Amino acid sequence: MTTSTTTPFTMPSLGADMDEGRIVEWLVAPGDHVDRGQIVVVVQTEKSDIEVEVFEPGTVNEILVGEGELVPVGTPIARMVPDQLAAARVEEPEHVAEPAAGPIPAAPAAVEAVAATVGHVTSPVLRHLADELHVDATHLHGSGPGGRVVRADVERAARPAAGHRITPRARRLMAERGLAPERFADRALVTGDDVLAAPAPHVAAPGTVTQQPTIDQPTREESMRRHIAELMSRSWREIPHYHLAQRLDLSVALDHLAAANERRPLADRIVPGALLLCAAARAAAAVPQCNGWWRNGRFEPSDTVDLGLVLSLRRGGVIVPTIPRADELSPAEMMQRMTELVQRARQGRLRSSHLAEASMTVTSLGERGADEVIGVIHPPQVALIGFGAVRDDVWPEADGTGVVVRPTVRATLAGDHRATDGVVGSRLLIRMQSLLDGAVPDELDTLAGGT
């Protein structure tokens, strides 16, 4: 017989430097069934609002931490009944010989499920949501197991006829700021960040509360800057850095890329940055001493190249999502990952799976950036690669007869002297050049051809 029917769902660590998180919004309620990969809660960190997924299917048993509360990483924020445990509970009565002497009280989730089949919402969370969204909770059709009403049913009933969706947090902020939903009629999905970015009306609606400064406004930017400064100070204090630079010739790679892009629709074309990320990831796989972490006084190599990508945010600051197994991606696949991460990061819609621990980080300044970036290692990693802007530069002919103008990029490496030295770091930079200029033909076909 099962001794424990629930498992804790804890505040996740959304980055090695995260100590605590704030619950912004629950997207599920007690009694809701969730599938693997479903977003259940939005958590605010120092840098962004993160959509947190579940990794095992089950049923929400209890919400332990309310919206707006700040708790340390590892704190239980909800309790779940995994599917296998729920199934075990259903099967148990088949092994009971005698019925119970009296009526067996139903669990709260079961009571809600029975009531929901006749169109009633008994969950306080769902009732509150229905009131907030001006939805008649007595005339809802449930889509959950057994016809039970779940959160999605309430939100669906609140959608305007035009078909766009307004999140509960966005509706709450609209009420606080005196903004009408019609202001956002051109959006398919209205989020809280959309409402915060909208200009406030000149005259507040009667009875509205003037919004006080919150961590969503300038104080949050200050908090992000402080957080970045603390992490970089720790890096400089603890890690004995060394720095290397190498000018890379991109002429062969960009010629292949131009030919590949001619065969692609405009929306699917690949930018040089995707090639550079592929080269960095494959070079890291070839020089594993630079791919891993310094922990407990020793270097721990990573079995995979999970590349952290530094992204700038429109409101200022940076965030570093992760591209898992980056060395296995083609340039086209890398381009898709880059595009998704940039869009999600700037919309404040990164998922917890996007912030898995990276084994190495890359920072790229883009075509409008400076010529060179001198990076600071993200602890506990032991290396960071930086790319400046692609520039036309003079390059000596191989036979020494003269010089030509070629597209080049300055690549830099910040290395941890506890794990490697300049000789090993140089091998990584030189390996990138070999990949880009075709000295490794089999890999160039995939890397520069973008197939």
Eight-class DSSP state of 201: P
Eight-class DSSP state of 11: P
Q: Considering 157, 188, 204, which residue would you say is the last residue of a domain?
A: 157
Dig out the tokens for 23 from the structure.
């619950």
Range of the domain at 15: 7-157
Q: Are 437 and 411 in contact (CB under 8 A)?
A: no
Is residue 125 situated within a structural domain? Answer: yes
Specify whether 14 is located in the same domain as 151: yes
Total domains in the fold of the chain = 2
- 3-state DSSP call for residue 104? coil
Q: What is the pTM of this model?
A: 0.65
Specify whether 264 is located in the same domain as 142: no
Specify whether 145 is located in the same domain as 244: no
CA distance linking residue 193 with residue 190, whole number of Å:
8
39-44 and 49-53 beta bridge pairing: antiparallel
Is residue 231 situated within a structural domain? Answer: no
Specify whether 255 is located in the same domain as 402: yes
CA distance linking residue 431 with residue 281, whole number of Å:
11
Amino acid 413 reads L
Dig out the tokens for 228 from the structure.
């970045």
- 3-state DSSP call for residue 52? strand
Is residue 192 situated within a structural domain? Answer: no
- Cβ neighbours for 49, distance < 8 A, ≥ 6 positions apart: 24, 42, 43, 192, 193, 348, 349
Is residue 66 situated within a structural domain? Answer: yes
Instruction: Please say whether the dihedral angle defined by the alpha carbons of residues 336, 339, 345 and 348, taken in this order, is positive or negative.
Output: negative
* pLDDT average per 10 residues of sequence, the chain (451 residues): 70 78 86 86 81 87 87 89 64 42 40 39 62 64 66 65 60 77 72 75 50 50 79 91 95 90 88 93 96 95 95 81 94 92 84 89 87 92 95 84 89 96 95 79 48 42
Q: Considering 118, 141, 157, which residue would you say is the last residue of a domain?
A: 157
Q: Are 42 and 27 in contact (CB under 8 A)?
A: yes
Report the pLDDT value the prediction gives residue 413, as an integer from 0 to 100. 97
Dig out the tokens for 259 from the structure.
């030919």
Specify whether 268 is located in the same domain as 409: yes
Tokens 């924020």 found at: 77
Report the pLDDT value the prediction gives residue 138, as an integer from 0 to 100. 64
What angle in degrees, to the nearest 10, is found between the helix axes of 272-286 and 422-437?
Answer: 130
Report the pLDDT value the prediction gives residue 86, as an integer from 0 to 100. 53
CA distance linking residue 283 with residue 291, whole number of Å:
10
CA distance linking residue 14 with residue 21, whole number of Å:
9
Specify whether 132 is located in the same domain as 257: no
Dig out the tokens for 270 from the structure.
């690949």
**Residue whose C-alpha is closest to residue 342's, from 273, 283, 282:** 273
DSSP codes, 372-403? -------TTBSEEEEE---EEEEEE-TTSS-E
Dig out the tokens for 206 from the structure.
């009667």
Is residue 234 situated within a structural domain? Answer: no
Report the pLDDT value the prediction gives residue 135, as an integer from 0 to 100. 65
Q: Considering 132, 157, 182, which residue would you say is the last residue of a domain?
A: 157
CATH number at residue 104: 2.40.50.100
Q: Are 112 and 148 in contact (CB under 8 A)?
A: yes
DSSP codes, 277-288? HHHHHHHHHHSG
Residue 203, CA distances (Å) to 92, 200, 287 in order:
61, 8, 62
Instruction: Please say whether the dihedral angle defined by the alpha carbons of residues 178, 183, 187 and 193, taken in this order, is positive or negative.
Output: negative
**Residue whose C-alpha is closest to residue 125's, from 200, 31, 211:** 31
- 3-state DSSP call for residue 102? coil
Beta strands in 126-269 (DSSP E): 165-166, 189-190, 241-249
CA distance linking residue 117 with residue 149, whole number of Å:
7
Report the pLDDT value the prediction gives residue 438, as an integer from 0 to 100. 66
